[in-house]
Structures are given as structure tokens and as C-alpha cells.
Amino acid sequence: MRIAVIVVLVVLVLAIGLAAYVRLAPSDPKRWHKMPDDVADRDFSSGAMRVIAAGEGDLARLHGIIAGSPRTTVLAGSVEDGMITYVSRTKLMGFPDYTTVQQAGGEIRIHARQRFGSSDLGVNARRVDGWLNRFRQG
């Protein structure tokens, strides 16, 4: 019985430590504020990419939608820079997902990805598609 209590306490301490790390680990802009060269409309196990046609002022409009989303903050960049990286955290555990949005000519390119784990279960694709649906509704 005493060993079972010790095991439960150790597991509890490890779980609390993991939760604290997930919430408090710093986000390095040098690592996350990047846009890959091969952005195309696609989903992958840990995120999603989207490319949409865009004109003048569209990055600022999309930024307003994204920045107004719950638990989402700007990590790096700005509308003036033409590229912004956001951190969106899950409600319960605070897992961070990173979304980089860049206006390149007549396109806005979006790269959303998770930091921890091997699958985001489609969360990033749904989040980005929700932002884009709001964007298209004007």
C-alpha cells in the first residue's frame, strides 16, 4: 500500500512538472518566426498550411481577426514587417501552437504547427480555417 501511494505521488509530481513546463517554457522567436519556402494548401499530422489571394490591407484585416482570438498573442513580427507569428494556447493545458502569417505579393501564406507531440488532431487546420472563414465573410 505504501509503495502505491509513493508511485501515485511521483506520477502526480511529474504531471504537475510537465504541465508547468508546457505553460512556462519560453517561445524562441528565432525558432518559430519563420516561413518555409514550400507553403501550399495542405494538412499534416502536426499542423496545416494555407495560401490565399490577398490585396492591400488584407494582412492587417486578417491580423485583427487572429489577434482577437482567445488565448492568442503575437510572438514576433508585425503587419508593417509583412510577417507575424502568433502563439495560440489550448484552454485546459496551455499547449502552444505557432502560426506564422506572411503577405508575399498577392498572397497570404499561413503555416500553423504544434510545439509538443506528434499529432495535433487537426486543431491547427480547424483554427486557421475558422480565421479564414471570418476573413472571407469580410
Query: Is residue 62 a part of any domain in this protein?
Result: yes
- Cα angle 20, 43, 105; round to 5: 100
Sorted by sequence, the CB contacts under 8 Å of residue 42 that are 6+ apart come out as 48, 49
* Domain span holding position 129: 28-136
pLDDT at residue number 54: 94
Query: Is residue 7 a part of any domain in this protein?
Result: no
Query: Is residue 102 a part of any domain in this protein?
Result: yes
- Domain harbouring 120, CATH code: 3.30.310
Report the C-alpha gap between 63 and 84 in whole angstroms. 8
Query: Is residue 9 a part of any domain in this protein?
Result: no
**Cα 29 to the center of its chain, rounded Å:** 13
Dihedral of CA 51/55/56/61: which sign? negative
Number of domains observed in the structure of the chain = 1
What are the angstrom distances between the C-alpha of 122 and each of 4, 44, 114? 37, 8, 10
pLDDT at residue number 23: 77
Query: Is residue 65 a part of any domain in this protein?
Result: yes
Q: What pTM was computed for the model?
A: 0.88
Report the C-alpha gap between 32 and 39 in whole angstroms. 15
Per-residue pLDDT tens digits of the chain, which is 138 residues long: 788 888 888 888 888 887 777 777 889 999 999 999 999 999 999 999 999 999 999 999 999 999 999 999 999 999 999 999 999 998 888 899 999 999 998 999 999 999 998 899 999 999 999 999 999 997
